[in-house]
Every structure is written in structure tokens, then in C-alpha cells.
């Protein structure tokens, strides 16, 4: 089964089916009950249920034939001023047939719309409020111009907490007959951090190997290094064994195909968990990790920069013992 089919199969159908985001769900339920919806901005990280909440609200408003009363546009693909003037305006100005007098326009990734398109959209929202309500989903609400923000009710979505994340992933695994081991579940949360869309994708990728899903398999299919290997590399470097630390780093890059930028981010996360490194040194090392990350983003060589980072850790370890 493709990821899109999985997503559709396990996507909540009604607002009452949604997990986490309880305050947001209660507010949206009140809109559905009153049969009235303002213009909205759903802002928050990816995979937290913004588009799902919009579709659930539409289903609760219009019933199972909700697709006849809504239009979805992904603004990252269709984001120019012509789309606002033609596609969106045409949809917005025609009235809905039924009990509810307005339709809903869902603009996904609205923060990727050009400024000109947003300026044109502002007037459209104002002019056709009676016949169309807009729901804009955005990762960064600050990229949406102030005049639009002031016309909308804001909703702030957050990543799913571990408890809710684990419960939902386990439900999916049980229904699909996937053997999900406890360390595999921990690894999925470690990799995805509460992004449910990414968690479902990771679980499906691991399940396609037809093996019990454990931590090793999860890290393999996501192209991430095992946190224990990162810890081992950091400890080796701090204890002065530069060649061993570099060998482990090269294994991650060459044998396992882990991206250098991913290794840097994992080093940043694991640095705080490494008990062997004193707090005062962690502060200095984090500053250097940030510099290495910037160099990699600018196109510097991965192996050279990661070796420099390990050398800095070796030097820090030497200074702390003398």
C-alpha cells in the first residue's frame, strides 16, 4: 500500500477523532456547531494535523459530500498572482448550494505564496467573505502578510507529545499486522520528533522490509546514524583517540551513507547527553558545532569539516584533563 493510501486510511475523519491539539479541536467544534467559520490560519510544524483539521472541519460542517463544497490548493505549486485572480477568485465568488451559505478554500503551504499573490488574496478574502471562507495552513505564520493575519483567527499547532505519538503508531502497527519492537518505537520518535506524517512514512518504509521493526531497521531506512554510535564516537574523541573517532565517522559517511549535515545535527543532540564531557566544555563545543553546520550548508567538504569537529573535541578533552 502506498504512503498516500496509508495516510488516507488512518487520517482522522472527524474533529472528535483527532489526537492531541485538544484546545484547537474544541474551538473548531464550536465553529461546526454554530455552522459558521471565520477565515483561519493554521500555523505550526509539518505533520501536526493542520490540513487534516481543515478537512475534518469541512466534513463535520457539510457531511460526507464535503468535497463538493471545498477546494484545496497547494500554494507551493500554485502560488502566483494569476492563480489568485483566476482560480481562487472564481471559486470564492460562487455561492454554495445547501444549508451552509459559504464554501471553504484550503490553501496549503500558504507561507510560500508570493507577496503580490498575498496582496491580491487580501482583497478577495474581504470581498467574498459571505460566499467563501479561507483556511490557510502554514509552517511559518510570520511569512503571511499582516493584513491577512489580522483578518484570520489564528490556530497554533504543536508536535505530538511522545505518549500520543507512541499510542497512534502502535495502533497503526497493530491494524497492519506489523511487529513493532519497543526499541523500534523509541527510534521512530527519536527520528520524527512528533511529526506524525513522517512517523507513518518511517513505519511503512521499515515494515516493507518484512522484518520485525527494531531500532537498527528504523535508522537504516531513514539514513540516520544510531545514537549509540554517535555517543561512542564522541567519547572516543573526548578521550583523545582521534583516529578511532574518525574511523567511526568515515563508516557513517561511506558505509552507511549518512549525510554529513545529519551527523552534525545528531552530534548536537547527543553532546548534551554525553556524561563524560563537562558542562562548561559542552557550551564551547556547541558553538563550534554550529559553525561546522554553517560551513556544510555553504558547501564545504563533509569529511574535512567533521574531522575538524572531532579534532576540536579531542583538544577540548585534552585541555579538561590538564
Residues 6+ apart with CB under 8 A from 102: 37, 95, 96, 130, 131, 132, 133
- How many CB atoms are located within 10 Å of the residue 218 CB? 27
- Which grid cell sits at 112? 510560500
Q: How far, in Å, CA of 248 to CA of 235, rounded?
A: 11
Residues 6+ apart with CB under 8 A from 52: 11, 12, 18
Q: How far, in Å, CA of 316 to CA of 322, rounded?
A: 10
Helices (H) and strands (E) in the chain, counts: 16, 5
Domains present along the chain, CATH in parentheses: 3-156 (3.40.50.300), 162-222 (1.10.8.60), 227-320 (1.20.272.10)
Residue matched to cell numbers 473548531: 28
Q: Are the CB atoms for 256 and 216 separated by under 8 Å?
A: no
Per-residue pLDDT of the chain (322 residues), as tens digits, is 555 566 667 778 888 888 778 888 889 889 888 888 899 999 988 888 888 889 999 998 888 888 888 888 876 566 667 777 778 888 888 887 778 888 999 988 888 888 888 888 888 888 888 888 999 999 888 888 998 898 888 999 988 888 888 888 898 888 888 888 999 999 999 888 888 888 888 888 888 888 888 888 888 888 888 888 888 898 898 888 889 999 999 888 887 788 888 888 888 888 888 777 888 888 888 888 999 999 998 888 888 999 999 998 888 888 777 6
Which helix (H) or strand (E) covers residue 175, if one does? helix 162-176
Please tell me the predicted confidence (pLDDT) of residue 91. Answer: 85
- Which grid cell sits at 266? 545528531
Amino acid at each position: 500500500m502506498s504512503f498516500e493510501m496509508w495516510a488516507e486510511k488512518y487520517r482522522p475523519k472527524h474533529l472528535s477523532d483527532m489526537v492531541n491539539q485538544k484546545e484547537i479541536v474544541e474551538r473548531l467544534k464550536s465553529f461546526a456547531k454554530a455552522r459558521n467559520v471565520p477565515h483561519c490560519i493554521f500555523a505550526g510544524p509539518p505533520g501536526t494535523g493542520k490540513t487534516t483539521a481543515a478537512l475534518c472541519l469541512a466534513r463535520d460542517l457539510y457531511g460526507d459530500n464535503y468535497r463538493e463544497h471545498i477546494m484545496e490548493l497547494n500554494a507551493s505549486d500554485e502560488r502566483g498572482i494569476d492563480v489568485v485572480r483566476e482560480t481562487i477568485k472564481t471559486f470564492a465568488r460562487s455561492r454554495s448550494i445547501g444549508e451552509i451559505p459559504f464554501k471553504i478554500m484550503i490553501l496549503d503551504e500558504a507561507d510560500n505564496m508570493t507577496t503580490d499573490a498575498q496582496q491580491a488574496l487580501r482583497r478577495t478574502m474581504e470581498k467574498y467573505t459571505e460566499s467563501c471562507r479561507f483556511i490557510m495552513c502554514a509552517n511559518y505564520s510570520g511569512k503571511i502578510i499582516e493584513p491577512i493575519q489580522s483578518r484570520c483567527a489564528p490556530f497554533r499547532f504543536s508536535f505530538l507529545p511522545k505518549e500520543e505519538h507512541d499510542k497512534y503508531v502502535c495502533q497503526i502497527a497493530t491494524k497492519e499486522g506489523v511487529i513493532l519492537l519497543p526499541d523500534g518505537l523509541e527510534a521512530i520518535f527519536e527520528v520524527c520528533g512528533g511529526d506524525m506524517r513522517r512517523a507513518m512514512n518511517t513505519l511503512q518504509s521499515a515494515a516493507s522490509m518484512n522484518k520485525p521493526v527494531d531500532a537498527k531497521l528504523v535508522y537504516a531506512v531513514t539514513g540516520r546514524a544510531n545514537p549509540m554510535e554517535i555517543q561512542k564516537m564522541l567519547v572516543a574523541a573526548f578521550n583523545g583517540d582521534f583516529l578511532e573517532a574518525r574511523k567511526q565517522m568515515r563508516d557513517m559517511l561511506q558505509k552507511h551513507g549518512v549525510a554529513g549535515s545529519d551527523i552534525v545535527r545528531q552530534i548536537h543532540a547527543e553532546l548534551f547527553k554525553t556524561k563524560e564531557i563537562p558542562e562548561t566544555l559542552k557550551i564551547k563545543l556547541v558553538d563550534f558545532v554550529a559553525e561546522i553546520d554553517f560551513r556544510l550548508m555553504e558547501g564545504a567538504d563533509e569529511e574535512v569539516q567533521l574531522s575538524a569537529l572531532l579534532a576540536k573535541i579531542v583538544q577540548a578533552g585534552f585541555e579538561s584533563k590538564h
